[in-house]
Amino acid sequence: MSSEFQTARQRLEKLREEIHSHCHRYYILDQPIIADAEYDALFQELLDIEQHFPQLATDDSPSKRVGAPALAKFNQVEHHFPMLSLENAFSDEDTKNFEERLHRFLKDHSPINYVAEPKLDGLAVELVYEKGLFVLGSTRGDGRIGENITANLKTISSIPLRLITDMTPERLEVRGEVFMSLTGFQQLNYDRGEAGEPLFANPRNAAAGSLRQLDSRLTALRPLDFYAYGISDPSIVPSTGQMELFSFLGKLGFKINPLVRSCASIDEVADHYRHLLEIRPDLAYDIDGMVVKVDSFALQERLGNKARSPRWAIARKFPASQATTRLLGVDFQVGRTGAITPVALLEPVSIAGVTVSRATLHNEDEIKRKGIRTGDMVLVQRAGDVIPEIVQPIADLRTGREKPIHMPQHCPSCGHALIREAGEAAVRCVNPHCPAQRLRSLIHFAGKSGMDIEGLGKKAMEQLFSENLVQNIPDIYTLEAKQLQSLDGWAQKSAENAIRAIKTGKNVSLARFLAALGIRYVGEVTARLLEEHFLSLRQLAAASREELLNIEGIGEQMAQSIIDYFGDAQVQDMLQKLADLGLNPQKQTVVSAGLPLQNMVFIFTGGLTSLSRNEAKELVKKHGGQVSSSLSKKVTHMVCGEKPGGKLQKATEMGLTILSEEDFQQLIAK
């Protein structure tokens, strides 16, 4: 196995965990920590590696996903047709390449008509109408399953509750964007500031947070608006293309963006992009680019979809907002895994309407690569979200008083000597007793990405840590309401609610608990993978290196991290205390009795054409079957797509039932 292959595999593992984490923060928590441009770069790097090493592509890769899972506090809704994401274009050349791909796929170089639409920075939703009445509204979620937010959507006056024409089909699924005007956003934040409530980062977060209110009366107070941009199944309406569909939706009573344009060529698309970019500062709402679609539904059908995006559409993104300011100093923060992150302290500057005073410097290599010095005038980029970044120093403005930035030799929190492991960019504190690491780990454990204990957010955990009430994970489960009530900001009800949440949270799945522990290299995806192979925490803790490496998706680095974690005496003591306190995570069991595929174990090989590999696996699980990632004696059926490879011959020799993609679809249908 080549060193290049090994390096690519390790980088992919890290990228997938990072991207899944950022998706969770963006779509679920509405608390993004990187700019769009940074996320796009991570995602593009992942796509490039998977394209170069296709054998490393996995079904749980972010490249196969759209959005994020539905919030548990809302009922789930399954979309009849997936709500897909869009590929991005960042230049005129990218959009021309998009057209060239269309011609190659169609094997036809005839002119193509396009529709260009402003890309609103809001929340995608689906509205279901039956006999002209609005009966169901949901978020995009992971593209297949979203959150039922019908009551909240009904409070938005631009969403019709009853369609105004008899032309509507029996069932119509309309898709569009919920957004908040800039004026409404500013007023909302002003009111929240006056009330002492935390401010929203931007209109997109404000809109998403408003739609996720459990009390729709609160949503009704928010200045939300809606533009329709499509339907799930164009074949059921009397429209031959996207522009005709906009006209049809307008007649039904939907609000259509007036800046939608029909373009006879890709050059006209580029012209409209420049027009939108020019008028963007004067718009009443925020847009982060332009969506380009093939106008003809017949061509859209021929072009079809890829795993996570349609072939017939692309998002032309606007460049990130930038400004210049002075770098005053650097703060070194300690993360929960001990990584030391340099954060730039900036002379406050307004970027896209937001005052920025801090920016990420990423790591030591990035600082050296960009040649950034304290005292520099720097170009700062903010791509619409929370943490800006320094793009580059402006060397021509240097006075000679600027100073090089040096990473600390000792931990800013505990004073322990820092190390930098071979092949890693991060400088790290390896002291397991480091207070900063312990605090960050506790915040992660109790937070949304961990056990999701209501009432124990970041500020609460910082307070409990500083008051010495919680110094380790078991301490959380020994808290009493009277202890919380004695602290500033806690009332009897909030204290009792927190203790109730702690107690009810003891019944937790193995996967969620593993993700909450914060084991290095073990994120939500890996945690679910481990849960598939181990019945209990005790069984996983006793697993050998060989057992772990036999699991597809677990590499050398990850296996060693798991072994080191469970081999630590302090970890063993902590887990025993948690068990004594009644916390005993177990593998989640799925009831399959009576379902048509029970007792069947499927493995997939080759490329599927009618649905993605992920969708096929979900169908198996939904109908009571199991999915295996490798050939073994427990496998009963193999589904073969295009170019199945060597697995087919081995499966035939093992006597498995071999199904074509069509056979599989028929089996599911039965």
Q: Active-site residue numbers?
A: 119
Instruction: Give the integer Cα–Cα distance in Å for 446 and 2.
Output: 41
Rg (CA), the chain: 26
Instruction: Give the integer Cα–Cα distance in Å for 206 and 353.
Output: 15
Q: Are 39 and 62 in contact (CB under 8 A)?
A: no
The length of the chain, given as a count of residues: 670
Instruction: Give the integer Cα–Cα distance in Å for 411 and 395.
Output: 31
Q: Is the dihedral of CA 449, 454, 458, 461 positive or negative?
A: negative
Instruction: Give the integer Cα–Cα distance in Å for 102 and 311.
Output: 8
Instruction: Give the integer Cα–Cα distance in Å for 70 and 180.
Output: 22
Q: Are 379 and 322 in contact (CB under 8 A)?
A: yes
Instruction: Give the integer Cα–Cα distance in Å for 216 and 193.
Output: 22
Burial zone of 506 (CB within 10 Å; 0-12 exposed, 13-18 middle, 19+ buried): middle
SS3 at position 477: coil
Burial zone of 92 (CB within 10 Å; 0-12 exposed, 13-18 middle, 19+ buried): middle
Instruction: Give the integer Cα–Cα distance in Å for 492 and 182.
Output: 38
Give every CB contact of residue 50 below 8 A, 6+ residues apart in sequence: 12, 56, 57, 61, 63
CA atoms within 13 A on the CB side of 596: 10
Angle between helices 458-466 and 435-446 (to 10 degrees): 140
> What is the DSSP secondary structure assignment for residue 26, as one 8-state letter?
I
Looking at the DSSP assignment, which residues form a beta bridge with residue 390? 380
- Long-range interactions of 650-657: CB distance < 8 A, separation 24+: 651/603, 651/605, 656/603
Q: Which of 139, 206, 127 is nearest to 168 (CA)?
A: 127
| Cα 632 from chain centre | 33
The sheet that has 171-180: what strands, in order across it? 133-139, 123-130, 171-180, 224-231
Helix (H) or strand (E) holding 347: strand 339-351
In the chain, the amino acid numbered 318 is F
Q: Are 102 and 130 in contact (CB under 8 A)?
A: no
| Cα 186 from chain centre | 26
In the chain, the amino acid numbered 501 is A
Instruction: Give the integer Cα–Cα distance in Å for 528 and 510.
Output: 8
Instruction: Give the integer Cα–Cα distance in Å for 184 and 665.
Output: 49
| Cα 549 from chain centre | 27
